[in-house]
């Protein structure tokens, strides 16, 4: 009963100086908002990362990459032929724990069509199996076949954004252009487009386009086409690819780069897919054994699994999270100092009042509790206002930079924000409350 | 048994290496229902004595008993409780909280003693009625005259039904007419059987009380015999209805 009334007294005090209280609360409001916003951004990043893994082929996809040979093998490093199609054939025959093996031979490319040109993010020669390996789907035409492969035909399959840039995107031309059958030039060599991949986009991107389309329809006056600003997102890479048969790549683009007038046979990548995630380690051992065989014992390759990439990405996210948390905790800390400062000023101007309280029979603890309640009220109110504010800041953030990594507010983040604000209030109130409670009643009563 | 019993109270302060004997062996008995004034020039130690009597301060040595509680060695928590339940204070500058209404000000001591809201309201109104302030219960102290503020403060001192009321220069901040009305109110409280102690430097005010204790240099210099000084109170003729504030 007593403490409830002291709480009311504390509340009344903050209400009485509402303007000062609001200013003080502002520190906590911004602090809590930044804590929640920060964790929402990190949560969004994490989700985007998980989505990305699925976009690019899932957890059981492993990349075989070149690596530096160990020092003790430096003298035999030159004997290794590097990654070649031989490896791929050997893996297909020997690595029983793999479900897919897909060679990739990359090259730099400039693609032109009439007077337009672009640079794809990935220009590779591949086997038809790459379709399954990288989880591509076709919107138009077909993928190249074993026959195209065997005859090294000048055919290509392009990503939707390549189509947009060479032939125009559907938004600005108001029509879906089917690029199949068109002849484009890749590094000045003519290629027939035989297929186009689906345009991949996130849900957020799709929603954004829908809104923009509506906006455009509502516009009056002459028709204007602004199209979409080019934005990088998780699918940017996947939409900007050009695939050709690996033999075509080899014969047309690698012919002069090899030694002894033979085309350079080296692959840039070998992608493998492990049949069963539980046997990942065993499968990788198998692959290692086979590759050591074909590479004449030189260990000039390494595996990049998504698991290891997740680990490193998670580490980075964790670091970002920690830094963000420290920064937002700092702003809460500043808010706490603001509270402490105002409480100290407040008790200083109320010394006589506190003396009166004591003369009327307030125990030290009552005074302590009363001042604590004032500071806690400030902090809790600040926290409660800060939570909706965080929704506001996140909305503002997504408006300023509509991106794929949409921040996600979790209930935990809200709880943490509120808890932190309460803690801030309590910690900030401790010293002023203690100071007030220890005032000598006589000196306090005489204080002018 | 006396209500308050002081035996050989000493209080010394140390200020910059100098020892100041604020009280130097004070012994005093105060019975229930007495109307006393402590008088003395400033620096005589009368305020220190009141603070010790009022449990705001503890003596350096000596014993002090209020009712059956030994106060000189009570904890600060016990002292707070005694101040709350057994002692009422009236200050020179009223010390009302400007943010609270008159009634809420009077309720304050009961918040610390943990009374329920309903009981607090009722008792506060009773106390305000006692000082003719019930029609101002919703006003803020800043809307009141000095005399009304002091009457509110008296109501606040009365509300927990204390054993003794201390008034420290209660008329010091009032004009002489209002001051007399306040003194008359103390006299009425005395007539109702309450124990009241005035602390003042003004012999005229001290003359109101039947018993006067003069403090000089930390000692009781002269105590007028209550039987000799027990003349009729000066304000007998003035009735309550005339006690309207002029300020």
Test A1 with B116 for CB contact under 8 angstroms. Answer: yes
Residue of B nearest to A15 (CA): B99
* Same-domain pairing of A150 and A229: yes
pLDDT at position B224 is: 55
Residues written for chain B:
247
* Same-domain pairing of A258 and A164: yes
Quote the number of domains for chain A: 2
List the beta strands (DSSP E) in B31-156.
35-39, 61-66, 69-70, 87-90
Domains annotated on chain B, with CATH:
4-240 (3.40.50.300)
Residue with tokens 């029979």: A361
* Same-domain pairing of A14 and A127: no
Minimal CA–CA distance to A439: which of A368, A375, A373?
Answer: A368
Let me know: does A124 contact A243? Beta carbons within 8 Å.
Answer: yes
Give chain B positions within 8 Å (CB) of A445. Answer: 56, 91, 95
Let me know: does A239 contact A56? Beta carbons within 8 Å.
Answer: no
pLDDT at position B200 is: 85
Please state, in angstroms and rounded to a whole number, the distance separating the CA atoms of residues A122 and A143. 17
Which of B85, B103, B111 is the mutation pick for testing A, counting most A CBs within 10 A? B111
What percentage of chain B reaches a pLDDT higher than 90? Answer: 0
pTM for this model (two decimals): 0.66
What percentage of chain B reaches a pLDDT higher than 70? Answer: 89
Chain B nearest-CA distance from A29, in A, is 27
H helix intervals, A58-145: 85-94, 130-133
Which of B77, B80, B159 is the mutation pick for testing A, counting most A CBs within 10 A? B80
Residue B16 contacts A where some CB pair is shorter than 8 Å = no
Least CB-CB distance to B111: which of A6, A441, A445?
Answer: A6
Please state, in angstroms and rounded to a whole number, the distance separating the CA atoms of residues A280 and A274. 6
* Same-domain pairing of A122 and A29: no
Residue of B nearest to A363 (CA): B80
Please state, in angstroms and rounded to a whole number, the distance separating the CA atoms of residues A39 and A393. 13
Test B113 with A361 for CB contact under 8 angstroms. Answer: yes
Strand pairing class (A155-158; A241-245): antiparallel
pLDDT tens per residue across span A71-99? 888 888 888 888 888 899 999 998 888 89
Chain B nearest-CA distance from A353, in A, is 7
Neighbours of A164 (CB within 10 A): 24
* Same-domain pairing of A326 and A422: yes
Let me know: does A19 contact A301? Beta carbons within 8 Å.
Answer: no
Residue of A nearest to B104 (CA): A9
Residue of B nearest to A350 (CA): B97
Let me know: does B220 contact B191? Beta carbons within 8 Å.
Answer: no
Residue B221 contacts A where some CB pair is shorter than 8 Å = no
Chain A nearest-CA distance from B84, in A, is 4
Residue with tokens 């580490």: A315
Let me know: does B55 contact B78? Beta carbons within 8 Å.
Answer: no
Chain B nearest-CA distance from A382, in A, is 23
Give chain B positions within 8 Å (CB) of A5. Answer: 111, 117
Least CB-CB distance to B80: which of A353, A356, A361?
Answer: A361
* Same-domain pairing of A205 and A342: no
Query: What φ, ψ does residue A178 adopt, rounded to 5°?
Result: -95, 110
In a domain, A296, yes or no: no
Which mean pLDDT values do the consecutive 10-residue runs of chain A (448 residues) have?
A: 74 82 86 85 79 73 86 83 88 89 91 91 91 89 92 92 87 82 93 92 73 72 53 73 92 74 80 86 90 88 79 79 82 85 88 87 86 86 88 83 70 85 87 89 80
Minimal CA–CA distance to B212: which of B193, B194, B229?
Answer: B229
Numbers of helices and strands, H then E, in chain B? 8, 10
* Same-domain pairing of A116 and A217: yes
DSSP string, A354-396: HHHHHHTT--HHHHHHHHHHHHHHHHHHHHHHHHHHHHHHHHH
Q: What is the largest CA-CA distance in chain B?
A: 56
In a domain, A301, yes or no: no
Please state, in angstroms and rounded to a whole number, the distance separating the CA atoms of residues A103 and A126. 6
Minimal CA–CA distance to B159: which of B184, B183, B185, B130?
Answer: B130
In a domain, A69, yes or no: no
Predicted interface score ipTM higher than 0.90 = no
Residue B97 contacts A where some CB pair is shorter than 8 Å = yes
In a domain, A421, yes or no: yes
In a domain, A376, yes or no: yes
Beta bridge partners of B26: B9
* Same-domain pairing of A245 and A350: no
* Same-domain pairing of A390 and A244: no
Please state, in angstroms and rounded to a whole number, the distance separating the CA atoms of residues A28 and A36. 12
In a domain, A96, yes or no: no
Give chain A positions within 8 Å (CB) of B54. Answer: 359
pLDDT tens per residue across span A180-191? 999 999 999 999
Provide the domain limits for residue A342: 3-53+313-446
């Amino acid at each position: 009963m007593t403490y409830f009334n002291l709480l009311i007294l504390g509340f009344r005090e903050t209400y009485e100086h509402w303007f000062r209280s609001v200013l003080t609360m502002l520190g906590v409001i911004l602090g809590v908002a930044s804590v929640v916003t920060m964790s929402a951004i990190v949560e969004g990043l994490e989700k985007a990362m998980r989505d990305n893994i699925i976009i690019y082929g899932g957890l059981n996809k492993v990349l075989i990459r070149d690596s530096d040979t160990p020092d003790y093998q430096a003298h035999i490093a030159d004997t290794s032929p590097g990654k070649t199609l031989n490896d791929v054939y050997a893996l297909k025959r020997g690595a029983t724990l793999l479900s897919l093996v897909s060679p990739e031979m990359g090259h730099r490319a400039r693609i032109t069509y009439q007077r337009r040109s672009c640079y794809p993010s990935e220009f590779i020669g591949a086997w038809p199996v790459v379709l399954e390996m990288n989880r591509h789907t076709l919107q138009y035409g077909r993928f190249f076949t074993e026959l195209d492969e065997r005859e090294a035909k000048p055919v290509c399959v392009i990503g939707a954004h390549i189509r947009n840039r060479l032939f125009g995107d559907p938004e600005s031309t108001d029509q879906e252009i089917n690029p199949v059958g068109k002849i484009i030039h890749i590094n000045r060599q003519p290629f027939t487009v035989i297929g186009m991949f689906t345009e991949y986009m996130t849900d957020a991107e799709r929603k954004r386009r829908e809104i923009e389309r509506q906006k455009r329809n509502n516009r009056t006056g002459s028709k204007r086409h602004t199209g979409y600003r080019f934005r990088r997102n998780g699918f940017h890479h996947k939409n900007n690819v050009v695939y050709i048969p690996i033999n075509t790549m080899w014969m047309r683009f690698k012919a002069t780069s090899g030694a002894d007038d033979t085309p350079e046979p080296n692959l840039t990548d070998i992608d493998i897919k492990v049949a069963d995630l539980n046997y990942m380690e065993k499968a990788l051992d198998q692959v290692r054994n086979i590759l050591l065989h074909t590479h004449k014992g030189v260990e000039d390759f390494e595996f990049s699994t998504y698991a290891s990439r997740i680990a490193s990405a998670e580490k980075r996210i964790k670091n970002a999270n920690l830094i963000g948390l420290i920064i937002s905790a700092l702003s809460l800390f500043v808010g706490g100092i603001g509270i402490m400062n105002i409480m100290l000023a407040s008790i200083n101007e109320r010394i006589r009042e506190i003396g009166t309280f004591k003369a009327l029979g307030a125990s030290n603890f009552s005074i302590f509790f009363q001042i604590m309640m004032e500071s806690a009220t400030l902090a809790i109110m600040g926290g409660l206002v800060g939570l909706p504010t965080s929704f506001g800041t996140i909305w503002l953030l997504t408006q300023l930079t509509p991106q794929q990594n949409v921040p996600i507010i979790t209930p935990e983040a809200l709880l943490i924000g509120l808890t932190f604000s309460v803690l801030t209030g309590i910690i900030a109130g401790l010293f002023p409350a203690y100071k007030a409670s220890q005032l000598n009643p006589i000196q306090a009563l005489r204080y002018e | 048994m006396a209500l308050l019993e002081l035996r050989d109270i000493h209080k010394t302060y140390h200020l910059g290496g100098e020892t100041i004997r604020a009280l130097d062996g004070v012994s005093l008995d105060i019975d229930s229902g007495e109307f006393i004034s402590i008088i003395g020039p400033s620096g005589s130690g009368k305020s220190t004595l009141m603070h010790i009597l009022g449990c705001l301060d503890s003596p350096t040595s000596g014993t002090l008993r209020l009712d059956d509680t030994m106060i000189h060695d009570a904890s600060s928590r016990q002292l707070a409780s005694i101040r709350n339940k057994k002692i009422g204070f009236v200050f020179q500058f009223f010390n009302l909280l400007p943010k609270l209404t008159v009634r809420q000000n009077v309720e304050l001591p009961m918040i610390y003693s943990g009374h329920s809201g309903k009981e607090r309201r009722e008792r506060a109104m009773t106390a305000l009625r006692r000082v003719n302030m019930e029609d101002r219960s919703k006003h803020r102290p800043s809307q009141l005259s000095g005399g009304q503020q002091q009457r509110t403060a008296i109501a606040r001192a009365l509300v927990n039904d204390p054993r003794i009321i201390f008034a420290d220069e209660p008329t010091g901040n009032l004009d002489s007419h209002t001051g007399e009305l306040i003194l008359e109110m103390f006299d009425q409280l005395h007539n109702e059987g309450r124990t009241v102690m005035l602390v003042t430097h003004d012999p005229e005010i001290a003359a109101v009380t039947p018993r006067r204790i003069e403090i000089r240099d930390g000692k009781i210099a002269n105590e007028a015999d209550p039987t000799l000084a027990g003349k009729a109170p000066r304000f007998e003729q003035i009735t309550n209805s005339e006690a309207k504030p002029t300020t």
